[in-house]
Each structure stands twice: as C-alpha cells, then as structure tokens.
Amino acid sequence: MLEEIVKRSAQMPSQSKVLIFGGGFTGQHIAKVLRSLGAEVLCSRRALAKEGADFVFDSTKQTLLSEKIFHNVTHIISCIPPSKNGEDPVLSSCSKIIKMIPLKWVGYLSTTGVYGDYKGDWVTENSLTKPQQKRSIRRLSCEKEWEALQIPLQILRLPGIYGPGRSALEVIQAKKNYMVHKPNQVFSRIHVDDIAGAIIHLIHLFSKGVNPKVINLADNLPAGNIEVMSYASKLLNLPLPPIESFENASKKMSPMALSFWQENRRVSNKVLCKLLGYELLHSDYKIGLEDCLKSIPLNNYD
C-alpha cells in the first residue's frame, strides 16, 4: 500500500530533511514513504547494525549526537516511548538544539492511553486526559515536555498499531493456547500505512496554517479481540484457538498484559477524517488485515 500513499500524496517540499527518532516498526514505515516523496530522511536506532539505522541514538548512553545530523533539518518525528523515569528520551538529550533550529513541523507519536478508561465511550481530542497506567502518566508528561518547547508541534495520539508482519494474522499463526474474551471490551487500532499517510497530510496542512495541536489517528471501527481474531483466522483458514473468559485468563496474565484489558474506550477520528479531510486507506480491521495478508506467502499459512 506504500505505492498508494505515494500516488495520492503531494511531494514533500523541496529541501526537506526529516529526522526520525526511533526507526522501529512505525518509524521505518514513515521513512519509506517520506523518501518516496522526495525528502531526505535520517532514522535513528539504538545500534547501527539494526535494519534501517542511519545514525545511533540511545538515550541511556551518554554519547552526544553530532551537530551535523541536525544540519538543515526541517522536520522531526519522534517515535520513541518515554523512559522509565518519565522523561522524554529525545528531549533529555537534544532539547537545546531542537529549540534552536528553524523547524517547519515536528510530530510526536503519543498514545491514546493518556485518555485513561472511558468504559467503552468515545474519546475525542477534547476529552479529559486521566491516565491510569504508569506508562500513560509518563506519556502525558512527555507530551507536556514537547509542548513546552514552543516549536511547530503536533501530538499524534495512537491506539494499537498494526501492519504487515505485526497483526492478528501473526497471533493466529503463533497458535496460542487460548484467546481472551471480555464482554463489551473494544480496542481501537490504526494501520501503519495510515500513520504514514496521515503524517504527510498533516505536514502539508500545517504549512497552510491548519495546525491543531493534538490529533487522534484511529480507524473507523473499534472492535473486540475475538471479532478481530476470528476474521484473521478466517483469512488464514486456520482454527481460532479456544476462547477463555477474561475472568479466568486474567489470573495468569502478566501485569503488562492485564493493564491493556483494564481500559475500554472508542477513539474518535473525526478531527483527522472530517475536519482535516484525511481519507483512511484501511478504514477498519477487515480491510487492514486483508492488506496484511498480502505480505504472507501463500504456502506459509500454517
């Protein structure tokens, strides 16, 4: 689908140089799209040997980044989660230089975890942030750190990210012992193509003065775990593992896994799709999973 985003997006402004902090799953995907649209892109990883690493950045090591990296940078995208102490890894090392350079746009990838639990109700960008999990409290504090810099910033709040190589299809292929069902629990999600597509859309709008501070990036259809897993198993023609109630399953879950089931909200994308006019490539998990299926070789379904 990369070709589709490239086909329908305007080229990046000439002389664009984008620094992506955190070239993991999403960072790499955004980098590919931006490069195809004419931008120079440099991606960080914590080791040069990792795929797609253009420079090394590891906030836990005290190595200073060369100023050369920041030379002529026009856009920055941070895809790095908060550190354990709640500080933003990028800003703890680079805030001074980031403040000094004449940036056109900065995107900070945050999470919809900052909204906390809404018991299945919809959350919009205007909903109160009431994070419960420690990692979401840290995330909100990183959002505030970025805002305090007073740079041309947009905060992009993301629900579960999926895409080729990281989706419900791989979960079904892993043949887990059971699938968890919690009645009325839904999760919102976003395909990685739409993160990249939305970023290009936002960069162009921002340059025309359309610049909301916070934007949710989510698809149209929050859905329950079993609903999504059933569709993935149907696409792969593999059986759905036995379904276990949340009540039973929760007794054997790690605290991290448990924390994902303790919040229930539907993430509204009205600002992105209605107000800002972004057209989703993968409007729901079915269309998104059908796209992910294309990256799985036909003889590799079981």
Note the residues at the interface with ligand NAP (CB under 6 A).
Answer: 22-27, 45-46, 50, 57-60, 79-81, 83, 89, 109, 111, 158, 160-161
Rounded to whole angstroms, how far apart are CA atoms 209 and 216?
A: 19
Rounded CA-CA distance 196/271 in Å is: 17
Q: How far apart are CB 135 and ligand NAP at their closest, in Å?
A: 8
Per DSSP, the three-state class of 147 is helix
- When the beta carbons of 94 and 203 are compared against ligand NAP, the nearer one is 94
- Closest distance to ligand NAP from the beta carbon of 120 (Å): 19
From the CB of residue 1, how many other CB atoms can be counted at a distance below 10 Å?
20
CB of 87 to ligand NAP, least distance (A): 10
How near is the Cβ of 14 to ligand NAP at its closest, in Å? 28
Comparison of 189 and 247: residue with beta carbon closer to ligand NAP: 189
Q: State how far the Cα of 257 lies from the Cα of 241, in Å rounded to an integer.
A: 18
CB-nearer residue toward ligand NAP: 45 or 75: 45
Judged by beta carbon, residue 26 or residue 133, the one nearer ligand NAP is: 26
Q: Give me the DSSP letters along 44-69.
A: EESSTTSTT-SEE--TTS-PPPPGGG
Nearer residue to ligand NAP within complex by CB, 14 or 85 = 85
* Position closest to ligand NAP via CB: 24
Q: Are 105 and 146 in contact (CB under 8 A)?
A: no
* b/e per residue 102-136 (b: at least 16 CB within 10 A): ebebbbbbbbbbbbbebeeeebebebebebebeeb
Residue 266 C-beta: closest distance to ligand NAP, Å: 15
User: Which residues, in sequence order, are bridge partners of residue 43?
Assistant: 20
Beta carbons of 17 and 40 less than 8 angstroms apart: yes
Indicate the residue among 50 and 182 with the shorter CB distance to ligand NAP: 50
DSSP 200-266: HHHHHHHHTT---SEEE---S--B-HHHHHHHHHHHHT-PPPPEEEHHHHGGG--HHHHHHHT---E
- Angle, alpha carbons 70-74-75 (nearest 5°): 95
Smaller CB distance to ligand NAP: residue 223 or 242? 223
